[in-house]
Structure 1
Amino acid sequence: MKFALLLLGSFLSSYACAGVYKCTDANGKTAYRETPCAAGNSNIQLNVKTGSAVDLDTLKHQQNNQEQQQQAVIDQQKLAQQQLTQKKEKLKQEAIDESAKNQFLIKSNPQKYSAFAIPPYKYEQLPALIKPYQDRLPDIERMRRLAAEKALASNECVRVEAAELNIKSTKDALVFLVDCSTAKRFYMTEQQLTQ
């Protein structure tokens, strides 16, 4: 007898724990079921022990919105990373192009430029002085060439031995040093070179 009561009690408690779903269709007809409602119906899960109700449609909608927001953040991060990579590659290519122009100028005018007057900077192997300005590397390469040309145009410099970014440079104003074979040195600012 005790066994039968225990068995009956366990069945009743499991039945009480079973989920109850309140389904309302488009016509407003309400039905209570043990299984979740069909698609298109309002789907509310009722807890018979506590008497609370959870709107599964709203919960699912919130989860979908949260997943969409997370996906949007991930997509935005990927896009930002892709744009940063493209910008870096473009910067590298522009620096390579400017370095090639410098080398062409040196090879075309060996009497005016030492072979090592404007050595190319490699983006991945920049000296410590240049590293803070790596985002301006194409400008630096172009201005080194302009500084060398301007020094030669002064007629005080016969041959350029070196044209480098100087330690006096700041983020706002780059300074270039041009050493000539006549022992003359020229310090030129970015503003002087862009005039």
Structure 2
Amino acid sequence: MRYFIILMFVCSTVQAKAYKCEVNGKTIYQQIPCAGAGKEIELNDNFSQADYNAAQKRISDHQAQISAQQKIDDDAAEKLRKEAIDYYTLRTRQSVAISEQRQADELRRQSAAIAEQNRILLLRAK
């Protein structure tokens, strides 16, 4: 029963008609007859094997182009991702280096202050 319904659906789509209508100066195509002046158009469903093969080749070529472009896009996105990681890694290292430099400067200042205090204490002790 299921196959019968599917077969009827397929047959009904094969027998579909198309109409070319003019509406407000625009040409439209539809499956129902036009309200005003319009005409039924013949649908050509008699394609040769060569036509079918050519269409399949165009589809295959188009899919190959899409795949190639997707690969290019993916490669570019990966390159940008790596560059962003490198940039933020560099920025982090720069921040750490600046902090360490400030800390070293402060330790030098403190060391100089302690050395000065020790010098003064030694002078007083004499």
TM-score (normalizing by structure 2): 0.50
CA radius of gyration, larger in: 2
TM-score (normalizing by structure 1): 0.33
* Higher relative helix content: 2
